[in-house]
Amino acid sequence: MNKLLMHPATKPVVFLLCLLPFARLTYGAFTDGLGANPAEFLIRATGDWTLRFLCIVLAVTPLRVIAKLNALARLRRMLGLFAYFYVVLHLLCYSWFDMGFEWGEIAKDIAKRPFILVGFSAFVLLTPLAATSFNRAIKAMGARRWQLLHKLVYVIAGLGLLHFFWMRAGKNNFAEVFVYAAIIGVLLAWRVWNFASKRKARPVAGVVRNSEKPLRTNG
């Protein structure tokens, strides 16, 4: 499987697969295939795909470690950028279809409605992650700072889930919310468990130093 993931064709194939939801929505928009309220369908669909890609990104590390698929790491950047791509589409659909690009009204709406404020906050936090997803940014920031910045993805996933919850609360429809909450909860819980396991298995510094001292022999 690692060999397959390292194949030169893997990235283009994954890229095309990630574009399929966008292609389907575009086709539906031009063929009147988005139901009675196409605008609402586009807003919700792009938001759903943003949350799905965030789940996929969070799943990369557990799958890489558990299944020993180290080659998965090479796809994480692309998947993260697609999460940003779909959140930009989500924001554009809202700004266009709901607000008609009236920027003053959009600002008022964000400040007035908590679920939109939470969603917009997730977008704002995701922007620097997308902007620093390149090798030059890692070199400029240093690996430690870059990793610390990209831990914001956990906060972003939580905000995205809260945004989704508030949106569905209006219609008392929580089935999908529970599914996403379970997925994100499991992925974050695994990270906590993995971190705790590594810390527990780490040898005490003093013990290591003592064990490295040469043995003294008589005479």
Distance CA 133, CA 129 (A): 6
pLDDT of residue 204: 54
Calculate the average pLDDT of the chain: 91
Q: Which residues of 38-58 are buried (b: 16+ CB within 10 A; e: fewer)?
A: eeebbbbbbbbbbbbbbbbbb
Average pLDDT over residues 23-52: 95
pLDDT score of 203: 65
- Per-residue model confidence (pLDDT) at position 57: 97
List, in sequence order, the alpha helices (H) in the chain: 2-5, 10-30, 38-66, 73-93, 103-112, 114-131, 135-141, 143-150, 152-169, 175-201, 205-211
CA distance 193 to 56: 19
Structure tokens that stand for 169 in this block: 């609360």
Residues in contact with 56: Cβ distance below 8 Å, sequence separation at least 6, in sequence order: 79, 83
Task: State how far Cα 33 lies from the chain centre.
Answer: 28
Cα–Cα distance, 102 to 91 (Å, whole number): 13
- Cβ atoms of 144 and 120 closer than 8 Å: no
Judged by average pLDDT, the poorest of 87-96, 112-121, 194-203 is 194-203
pLDDT beyond 60 at 66: yes
Q: What is the pLDDT of residues 129-176, one digit of tens each?
A: 999 999 899 999 999 999 999 999 999 999 999 999 998 887 788 999
Query: What residue spans define the domains of the chain?
Result: 2-200
**pLDDT value for 212:** 44
Measured in whole angstroms, the distance separating CA 130 from the mean position of its chain's CA atoms is 10
Q: Which two tokens stand for residue 89?
A: 């589409």
DSSP readout, 34-90? S-S-HHHHHHHHHHHHHHHHHHHHHHHHHHHHHTT-GGGHHHHHHHHHHHHHHHHHH
90 in Cβ contact with 46 (< 8 Å) = yes
